[in-house]
Structure 1
Amino acid sequence: MDAADPTRLAEKLRLAFDLHEAGVALMRQNLRRRLPEATETEIDERLAAWLRERPGAEFGDAEGQPVPGPRPAR
């Protein structure tokens, strides 16, 4: 199957969304464990902050120096 095949690309996108959902669910459980007295609203707020700030990955997940975007097309 060609890497640019629309079906394959759609499968990869669905997998990325599924992985994102799993990560969010894991972090929600982590927050509930760490903050057993927190309300659901407080958990939601902390989860949203975590998604926005991404401690440890403020500039993305890749190694290297952040550069202003957008980068020129190759």
Structure 2
Amino acid sequence: MYHREAAATTRVLVWFMLLSGLLLDGVNELVRDQGPAVVTLAVAVAVGLTPEMLPGYAGLTLLARAGLATRRRCGR
């Protein structure tokens, strides 16, 4: 079960990294015409944002697991 959750977490983080990079690239391409420099910046921002999401995702997972454990313990 842990491996499935770890794989799901990895997929979410990678998708966020890709989408944020593409979004930044698209917006910057509309505003300015700088080509390859924008791609480098988009990758740097995406790689920088991904670790920032990890504590929030871990906290959310812990909250969900605590809710399930409480329901099992109380019999609801």
Structure 1 length normalisation: TM-score? 0.50
Q: Which has the higher helix share?
A: 2
Structure 2 length normalisation: TM-score? 0.49
